[in-house]
Amino acid sequence: MLNLKRALFAVACAGMMAGSTASARAADPLVIDVILPVTGPAAFLGTAQSNSLELLEQIVNKSGGVNGRPVKFVIHDDQTSPQTAVQLTNAVVAAKAPVIIGSAMVAACNAMAPLAKDGPVMYCLSPAVHPPDGSYMFSSGFSTKDLLVAVMRYLRNRGWHRIATITSADATGQDADRSIDEAVALAENKEQTIVDREHFAPADVTVAAQIASLKATKPDALIIWTTGTPFGTVLRAVSDAGLDVPLVTTPGNMTHEQMKAYASFLPDDLYIPTKPAFAPDQLANGPVKNAVLTFQRAFKAANVRPDEGYISLWDATLLIVEAYRKLGANASAAQIRNYISSQRNWAGVDGTYDFVSVPQRGIGVNSVMMVRWDRAKDDWLGVSRLGGNLK
């Protein structure tokens, strides 16, 4: 894929050199800066996102780029460090870039947010970020609140009412704790009870004590809200303790790499609230299903099995490219923000976006779908309708 991208770029450069100076300027790449955790603990996510951008770059440029100019995504590695993300953001802001895509982790996005108070547009790829209405920051995917409302609805409808939770003692876990409380407090969830809450540091090498404590409460299901290596730590402890209950986790863990790495201690029932793109067979015919099928065909042609990392920036990136196509390559941060904020019926792989009704995000709980990891099929299977409702 990378060689093809270089070849395409070389052809474009050759064409520029052969043309007039004015034509060369017109065909200069439109640079869009991206900040991702390509290395560090979240590299499993950032690497997939980086690969997804390579494919998107080819697709966008084969369809004409931005009014004849090729798009070039320039990826900066924040090393899964909020401090590094801030340094990179300062450099991009100083260069007066109108748009930044990233980062992928909530702590990095929260650290970057103050730097974009007056622009550039910052499209964070973590659903745990909740930007103020009308701000220059957008958040891709579903909010943690909507994900956990769908989770609690699904658990309730399955008859699983005694819920235990274990969350990491970081920004991701803290956001989940608040969202779980809000979901349980809804009138529809009056039958749901949190029987135990456990916490752990992301760097902990074992959580055996926490799992033993929550196992004693005899929960019907366990919510594990953390991503990456810490998720594996919890899964191993659950397996070692013989805790045999349905598990629910964040879509941040929906990577084939992780499922392969944890195969020896994955449970039979692992559920995740996620995007329609993972279960197109559950979708009615229409614009969203068409967007999902187009997405899947693109990755099939590239011989890649997409997972959460690949999907998480797809809609956000296409929205930004569409804004440039409509407004021109010299569009300002304010113009791009206003364009995205005005979209009311934009169909993507995450669902139908309405940024007027759902500011800064565009989609809500009614587009969330529950899936289950099927070890035999080595894939995720849809187990609910949209909104987390049972079939």
Confidence of residue 282 (pLDDT cuts 50, 70, 90): confident
- What pLDDT is attached to residue 22? 38
* Structural domains in the chain, sorted by start: 2-143+287-366 (3.40.50.2300), 144-279+368-388 (3.40.50.2300)
- What pLDDT is attached to residue 249? 97
Please state, rounded to an integer, the average pLDDT across all residues of the chain: 90
- What pLDDT is attached to residue 16? 36
Bond before 384 cis per omega within 30 degrees: no
What are the beta bridge partners of residue 35? 76, 102
- CA dist., res. 9 & res. 30, Å (int): 13
Q: Which residue stretches of 263-357 are H helix?
A: 287-301, 308-311, 314-327, 333-341
| Consecutive H or E run containing 348 | strand 346-348
| pLDDT tens per residue, range 63-99 | 999 999 999 999 999 999 999 999 999 999 999 999 9
The two structure tokens encoding residue 133: 């209405």
For the chain, the distance separating the N- and C-terminal CA atoms, rounded to the nearest angstrom, is 39
| Number of other residues whose CB lies within 10 A of the CB of residue 348 | 26
Radius of gyration of the chain (CA): 21
| pLDDT tens per residue, range 128-151 | 888 999 999 999 989 999 999 999
- What pLDDT is attached to residue 6? 37
The two structure tokens encoding residue 263: 């195969």
Question: Can you tell me which residue has the tokens 């090393």?
Answer: 79
| pLDDT tens per residue, range 220-236 | 999 999 988 899 999 99
- 328 pLDDT higher than 60: yes
Identify which of 358, 382, 340, 384 has the alpha carbon closest to the alpha carbon of residue 127: 358
Identify which of 274, 223, 283 has the alpha carbon closest to the alpha carbon of residue 251: 274
- What pLDDT is attached to residue 19? 38
Question: Can you tell me which residue has the tokens 């998107």?
Answer: 56
- What pLDDT is attached to residue 308? 85
- Cα–Cα distances in Å, from 257 out to 44, 102, 169, 260, 262? 7, 21, 24, 5, 9
| pLDDT tens per residue, range 344-365 | 999 999 999 999 999 999 999 9
